[in-house]
Amino acid sequence: MGKYENLAKEIVKNVGGKENIISLVHCITRLRFQLKDEGKANDDAVKNMDGVVTLMKSGGQYQVVIGNHVSDVFADVCTIADIKQESNNQPQGKKKKSVGGILLDYMSAIMNPIMGILCGVGILKGLLAILTITGILTESDGIYMLLYAASDSLFYFFPIFFGYTAAVKFNMTPLLGATIGAAMVYPAIQGLEDFSVFGIDLSGTSYTSTMIPIILVIMLAAPLERTLKKVIPDVIKTFIAPMLVLLICVPVGFIVIGPIANWISGIVAGALIGVYNISPILCGLLVGASYQVQVVFGIHGGLSVALMLDFLSNGSSALFALVCLPSFAQTAVVLVIWLKTKNQKLKNIALPAWISGIFGITEPAIYGVTLPRIKYFIISCIGAGIGCAYMGLTQVTLYQLTGLGVFSLPMTISPQASSGNLINYIIAIVIAIIVSGVATFILYKDEGNDLQATTNKSNNSSRTINICTPIAGTVIPLSEIKDDAFSQGVLGAGVVIEPKEGKVIAPEDGILMTLFPTNHALGIKMNSGAEILIHIGMDTVQLEGKYFTPKAKQGDTVKKGQVLMEFDLKAIKAAGYSLLTPVIITNTETYADVIETNDQTVSLGDNLIHIILKKEG
């Protein structure tokens, strides 16, 4: 349960209880209930709750306005009311994913639940390696054997764990998936010298420490289980269905699917190893320089899966080691920017960013600091590439899966490996840090918004931010819109625009922090610090994305004038919806004043809102 548990309980109670809730979704600021009987809801109690901005009733929905943290409240309300988020938080009109997107979605869902444990046992393995190298423990010590079992069991019994998580993703009984995985790694049938089934030679076959075979078996077992549950009488299906699934899937998995999957895995791993063998330096340069770019575009999952296969096949991997280094280059760049900038706002962003980067968490550094200043993002990629090229030259190898950042150091330690492996990894880190850090130190200077903020501060004058028009049309005062959440200014100050063309652009450089799945609302955090909500039309969430065409993705860094959304004006109006579009500064309270334009009509790029910053001190 999250931190809004008490608020969630009060909301559920005062909308008439969970029995009165037909469905629940949320948009960018509101919980949108469909209630069986709105007369059972206590409107006054809902309006007066701490944590609730106001209450709206529109379009057959009971709308509880929360604000920017609505997704957190939504999660707690779903838990209290026994609502499945997966089935209620997604609009039915969602876009189809590409085959690659679907594959990465499934692999992430299967792997992510155990990644924290995976890093934890990897670090434990590294500590055990240190203890044996230093002579504190030996492999025959009882405590060593016990702790080694704790650190190695996850890797050895991978199919059990992946069987469980894959079953969850494929809508199958999770414990049945784990049971199939356990059968695949049953010790008595692993690696037998003389083993055959129905005349098929399976000598030497083993599925310990594998991932792909069990996932493919679950893909067969999940629909089979669902079909059996439909046709088997209720009185016996609870035990007959799993029996039949095991009877069919374990032999097919062990005899047919497993060998094919291991063969495919070998080809993939072999191809990567082939590239590495041709030129480990070039391979390191390419992987190191491109990895952070892949992270930004969300395609690094495919590379990680392929590298995982290499590690699982061999128990070590020089390829997987390469992706552990780029975080150090990124962190070095942000540290230098933090030291050099005179912009206090940028310093406040960069400080926690480089601290988290030490531990391998670089998203704050990438999205908050370097991507908006693309030159320094490129510098970090170059530094990472050069450091990884050295790793390829010296063939630095990963022996266990640990965390990233400083937690990656134990990954290169093995009782059988020389200390040179760790030393070369440290040298590669130092190279990446020096190249990235020195280049940033030489080239960095406050520019654009950073320089403007610095200059304004030094002049000790009233600092301002100008927000340009993201959508062309007629300007209407916010107070005149028929929606209390906007008209009363509870979500922030701003204006309303009646669009004359179906296009939304980025008013300034920044990050598209929020793009609701129905595409009717966008939240942008400007590099200046202003947070802007653009809500296209009234109640257009009910269109479920119809007539809206996004031109950017949530999390994208956007440039001033970039088209973010296109929408069909005529079709939306014909569907009976108002196109009045609030443009709101959602963090209004952080500024001294927010002044709207006096112009009655505005074109794209015109000055729309003038923000006056509070004086420091």
| Residue tagged active-site, from 26, 283, 381, 535 | 535
Q: Does residue 458 lie within any of the structural domains?
A: no
In a domain, residue 355? The reply is yes
pLDDT at 270: 64
d(CA 330, CA 377): 7
The whole-angstrom separation of Cα 254 and Cα 207 is 9
Does 532 lie in the same domain as 588?
yes
Q: Are residues 472 and 484 in the same domain?
A: yes
Residues 201 and 289 in one domain: no
Same domain, 146 and 285: no
403 shares a domain with 368: yes
- In the chain, the percentage of residues whose pLDDT exceeds 70 is 82
Answer yes or no: is 267 within a domain.
Answer: yes
d(CA 225, CA 569) in angstroms, rounded, equals: 47
Q: Are residues 437 and 311 in the same domain?
A: yes
Query: What is the percent of the chain where pLDDT is above 90?
Result: 32
Burial-class residue 330 by CB neighbours within 10 Å (0-12, 13-18, 19+).
buried
Q: What is the DSSP letter of 61?
A: E
Which residues have C-beta within 8 Å of that of residue 271, sequence separation ≥ 6?
none
Residues 257, 287, single domain; the answer is no
From 255, 275, 295, the end of a domain falls on 275
535 tagged catalytic: yes
**Residue 394 belongs to a domain:** yes
Residue 173 domain-assigned? yes
| pLDDT score of 418 | 65
| pLDDT tens-digit readout, 514-572 | 888 888 999 999 888 889 999 999 888 888 889 999 999 988 899 999 999 999 999 99
Query: With b meaning 16 or more CB within 10 Å and e meaning fewer, what string describes 40-74?
Result: ebeeeebeebeebbbbbeeeebbbbbbbbebeebb
3-state secondary structure of 17: coil
Domain final residue pick, 424, 449, 474? 449
Q: Over the stretch 308-321, which tens digit does the pLDDT of each residue have?
A: 666 766 778 888 88
| Domain-embedded: residue 152 | yes
Q: Which of 124-133, 190-199, 382-391 has the highest mean pLDDT?
A: 382-391
Phi/psi of residue 157, each to 5°?
Answer: -100, 30
Domain assignment of residue 529, yes or no: yes
Helix (H) or strand (E) holding 464: strand 464-468
The helix (H) or strand (E) run that includes residue 162 is helix 158-169
Asked if residue 76 and residue 144 are part of one domain, the reply reads no
What integer pLDDT is reported at residue 60 of this predicted model?
A: 67
- Output 596 or 512, whichever has higher pLDDT: 512
One domain, residues 78 and 56: yes
Question: Which letter does DSSP use for residue 193 in this model?
Answer: S
DSSP annotation string for 104-144: HHHHHHHHHHHHHHHHHHHHHHHHHHHHHHTTS--TTSHHH
CA distances from 269 to 279, 305, 307, 393 (A): 16, 10, 7, 20
Domain housing 208: 102-275
> Do 268 and 363 belong together in one domain?
no
Identify the pLDDT of residue 250: 93
- Give the pLDDT of residue 424: 93
Strand partners, 550: 565
Give residue 90's identity as a one-letter amino acid code. Q
Q: What is the spatial distance between Cα 144 and Cα 150, in angstroms, rounded to a whole number?
A: 10
Q: Report the mean per-residue pLDDT for the chain.
A: 82
Distance from C-alpha of 299 to C-alpha of 292, rounded to nearest angstrom: 10
Q: What is the 3-state secondary structure (H, E, C) of 221-242?
A: HHHHHHHHHHHCCHHHHHHHHH
Instruction: Report phi then psi at 404, rounded to 5.
Output: -95, 180
- Which among 275, 294, 327 is the end of a domain? 275
* Weakest-pLDDT range from 46-55, 168-177, 383-392: 46-55
The three-class DSSP label of residue 39 is helix
Decide if 69 is catalytic.
no
- pLDDT at residue 5 tops 80: yes
pLDDT exceeds 60 at position 91: no
Q: Per-residue pLDDT for 456 more than 50?
A: no
Answer whether residue 187 shows pLDDT above 70.
Answer: yes
What Rg value do the Cα atoms of the chain yield, rounded?
28
199 φψ region: left (φ > 0), alpha (ψ -120 to 50), beta (else): left
What is the Cα–Cα distance from 2 to 474, expressed in whole angstroms? 42
Q: Which amino acid is at 378?
A: I
- The pTM for the full model equals 0.46
In this structure, are 59 and 111 located in the same domain? Answer: no
Identify any residues that bridge with 523 across adjacent strands, giving them in sequence order.
Answer: 514, 533
Q: What angle do CA 369, 370, 372 make, to 5 degrees?
A: 80
- pLDDT of 89: 39
Residues 293 and 262 in one domain: no
Q: CA 144 to CA 83: how far, in whole Å? A: 46
Q: What percent of the chain is helix, strand and coil (3-state, nearest 5)?
A: 55, 15, 30
pLDDT of residue 87: 39
Catalytic position from the list 26, 27, 283, 468:
27
